[in-house]
Amino acid sequence: MPFTLRDLCADRRLGLRAVCSSADLDRRISWVHSSELRDPTPYLDGGELLLTTGLGPAGDPQRYVARLARHGLAGLGFGTGLGHDEHLPAVTDACTRAGLPLLEVPERTPFLALTRAVTEARAAERFAEVVRTDEAQRALTAAALGEDRDGSTGRVLDRLADRLGAWVLISDADDRVRHAAPPQASPRAAALAGEIARVREHAGPSSVTVSAGGGQVVLQPVRLVGPAVLAVGRDRRFSPVDRQVIGSAVSVLTLAHARSAAAGRAEQRLRTAVLRALATLPGCGAEEVLADTWGPLPDGDLVVVALGGRPAPGRSEILLDALERASAGFHAELDGHVAAVVGADAVEPVLALAARVRGIRAGISDPVPVTGLGRALREAGRALDAAGRRDRAVLRFADLAGSGLAALMAPEDATAFAESVLAPLVRHDAQRRGDLIGSLREWLAHHGQWDPAAGRLGVHRHTLRARIEKAGSLLERDLDSPGVRAELWFALHSREAGDPAHPS
Tell me which residue of 133, 142, 68 sits closest to 102, measured CA to CA.
68
Tell me which residue of 439, 449, 501 sits closest to 475, measured CA to CA.
439
**What pLDDT does 504 receive?**
41
Cα distance between residue 269 and residue 266, in whole Å: 5
Cα distance between residue 287 and residue 295, in whole Å: 9
**What pLDDT does 145 receive?**
66
**What pLDDT does 431 receive?**
83
Tens digit of each residue's pLDDT (9 = 90 or more) over 168-184: 898 887 778 888 889 88
Residue type for 341, please? V
- Percent pLDDT > 70 in the chain is 86
Indicate the pLDDT class of residue 283, thresholds 50, 70 and 90. low
Q: Which residues pair with 339 in a beta bridge?
A: 306, 332
> Topology of domain 411-498, per CATH?
Arc Repressor Mutant, subunit A (1.10.10)
CB 124 within 8 A of CB 97: no
Residue with the bigger pLDDT between 305 and 247: it is: 305
How much of the chain is helix, strand and coil, in % rounded to 5? 55, 15, 30
The pair phi, psi for residue 430, each rounded to 5°, is: -70, -35
Q: What CATH number should be reported for the domain whose range is 5-109?
A: 3.40.1390.20
**What pLDDT does 387 receive?**
86
SS3 225: coil
Burial class from Cβ neighbours inside 10 Å (0-12, 13-18, 19+) for residue 92 reads middle
**What pLDDT does 473 receive?**
87
CATH second-level architecture of 297-408? 2-Layer Sandwich (3.30)
Mean pLDDT of all residues in the chain?
A: 82
Which residue ranges make up each domain of the chain? 5-109, 132-259, 297-408, 411-498
**Per-position b or e across 106-132, b if 16+ CB within 10 A of its CB:** eeebebebbbebbeebeeeeeeeeeeb
Residue with the bigger pLDDT between 403 and 266: it is: 266
The pairs formed by 476-482 with CB atoms below 8 angstroms and a separation of 24 or more are: 479/448
CB 160 within 8 A of CB 185: no
237 contact partners, CB below 8 Å, separation of at least 6: 215, 216
The pair phi, psi for residue 333, each rounded to 5°, is: -80, 135
**132-259 classified as CATH 1.10.760.10:** no
CB 397 within 8 A of CB 368: no
Indicate the pLDDT class of residue 501, thresholds 50, 70 and 90. very low
DSSP 410-438: -HHHHHHHHHHHHHHHHHHHHHH---HHH
Quote the DSSP letter at residue 108: T
Tell me which residue of 178, 182, 152 sits closest to 168, measured CA to CA.
182
Task: Tell me whether strands 226-234 and 167-171 are parallel, antiparallel or unpaired.
Answer: antiparallel
pLDDT at 12 over 60: yes
**What pLDDT does 140 receive?**
66
Tens digit of each residue's pLDDT (9 = 90 or more) over 461-470: 888 888 888 8
3-state secondary structure 15-72: CCEECCCCCCCCCECCEEEECCCCCCHHHCCCCEEEEECCCHHHCCHHHHHHHHHHCC
pLDDT at 278 over 70: yes
Cα distance between residue 192 and residue 218, in whole Å: 11
Tens digit of each residue's pLDDT (9 = 90 or more) over 367-423: 988 888 888 888 898 889 888 888 888 988 888 765 555 555 666 777 778 788 888
Tens digit of each residue's pLDDT (9 = 90 or more) over 54-109: 888 888 999 999 999 999 999 999 999 887 888 889 999 999 999 999 999 999 99
Tens digit of each residue's pLDDT (9 = 90 or more) over 190-199: 888 888 888 8
25 contact partners, CB below 8 Å, separation of at least 6: 4, 5, 6, 9, 18, 101
